């Protein structure tokens, strides 16, 4: 019997306007009423997730920063795995040198360089001038979505962070240049102390090697005294794979890439068709 359901946010619980539908909210409430724990598992920062849930009456456990943090339903931090300072400095200095737009997810804010948004505009302009016939509307949409998070704090350089005692949970690098993304992936994929994942087409994200949505799900299940054989997970992207593989029952969203669908037990509806509600109801029906 499923006692714990892990639900990704973007492309999963959220629709294209980054909102939670009424049907999805009702399904979560039904699960909670039936003593099923729901945990939101996202790459987003905890305070950003709080803003998204602000106008709902739902409180859940929250796995944030791709598994680097776990917060209790009452908002207390239960578990965290920051990136080693030296590793963070090495990553950030390289990203700056390569003119990346980046975001540093910390316990205080999402730090991002002052000139970062300008760098993305330059990338978009280059793509536009190289392919004048192609619409860049989807790129503008992706950038807008990226900037719509809450909790940004602007810095001149990563050096501004050196003197602070912030815990860095997750570093997100974002680019519209595929070659640049490949180069970044190749630079970090073999670093033994880091986890690298991709949550969307234009990014890669770095965490401590002991931080992933899958590891966090296991830690939480253990805390709640729930067997992994009584867990389920639903998601749409590569940063969900660790938890989709860890959970007993896994569902890929209808809008997920084929590779994710192939890794799951089942495929539910898309994020604009209340796929999460559909999956939750299928679980409670079987129970």
Handedness of CA 119, 125, 131, 135 (dihedral sign): positive
- The answer to whether 15 and 24 have CB atoms below 8 angstroms apart is no
141: alpha, beta or left, given left = phi > 0 and alpha = psi -120 to 50?
alpha
Q: How far is the CB of 68 from Ca ion (least distance, A)?
A: 16
Where do contacts with Ca ion occur on this chain (CB under 5 A)?
8, 10-11, 236-237
Asked about 8 being catalytic, the answer comes back as yes
CA 119, chain centre distance (Å):
23
Handedness of CA 125, 129, 130, 136 (dihedral sign): positive
Q: How far is the CB of 167 from Ca ion (least distance, A)?
A: 23
- The answer to whether 101 and 119 have CB atoms below 8 angstroms apart is yes
Q: What are phi and psi of 41, to 5 degrees?
A: -125, 110
Q: How far is the CB of 256 from Ca ion (least distance, A)?
A: 9
Q: Which is nearer to Ca ion, 44 or 71 (CB)?
A: 44
Q: How far is the CB of 176 from Ca ion (least distance, A)?
A: 19
Active site residues: 8
């Amino acid at each position: 019997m499923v006692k714990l359901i892990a639900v990704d946010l973007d492309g999963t619980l959220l629709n294209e306007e980054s909102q939670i539908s009424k049907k999805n909210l009702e399904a979560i409430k039904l699960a909670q009423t039936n003593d099923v724990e729901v945990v939101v598992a996202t790459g987003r920062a905890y305070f950003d997730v709080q803003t998204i849930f602000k106008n709902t009456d739902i409180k859940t456990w929250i796995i944030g920063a791709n598994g680097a943090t776990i917060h209790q339903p009452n908002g207390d931090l239960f578990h965290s795995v920051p990136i080693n300072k030296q590793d963070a400095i090495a990553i950030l200095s390289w990203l700056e040198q390569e003119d990346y737009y980046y975001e540093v997810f910390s316990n205080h804010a999402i730090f991002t360089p002052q000139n970062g948004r300008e760098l993305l505009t330059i990338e978009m302009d280059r793509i536009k001038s190289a392919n004048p016939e192609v619409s860049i509307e989807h790129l503008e949409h992706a950038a807008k979505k990226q900037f719509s998070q809450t909790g940004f704090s602007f810095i001149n350089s990563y050096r501004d962070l050196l003197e602070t005692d912030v815990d860095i949970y997750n570093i997100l690098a974002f680019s519209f240049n595929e070659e640049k993304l490949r180069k970044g992936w190749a630079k970090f994929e073999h670093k033994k102390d880091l986890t690298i994942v991709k949550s969307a087409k234009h990014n890669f994200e770095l965490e401590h090697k002991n931080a992933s949505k899958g590891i966090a799900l296991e830690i939480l299940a253990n805390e709640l005294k729930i067997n992994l054989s009584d867990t389920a997970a639903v998601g749409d992207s590569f940063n969900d794979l660790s938890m989709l593989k860890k959970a007993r029952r896994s569902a890929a969203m209808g809008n997920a890439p084929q590779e994710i669908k192939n890794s799951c037990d089942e495929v539910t509806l898309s994020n604009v068709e209340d796929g999460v509600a559909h999956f939750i109801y299928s679980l409670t029906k079987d129970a």
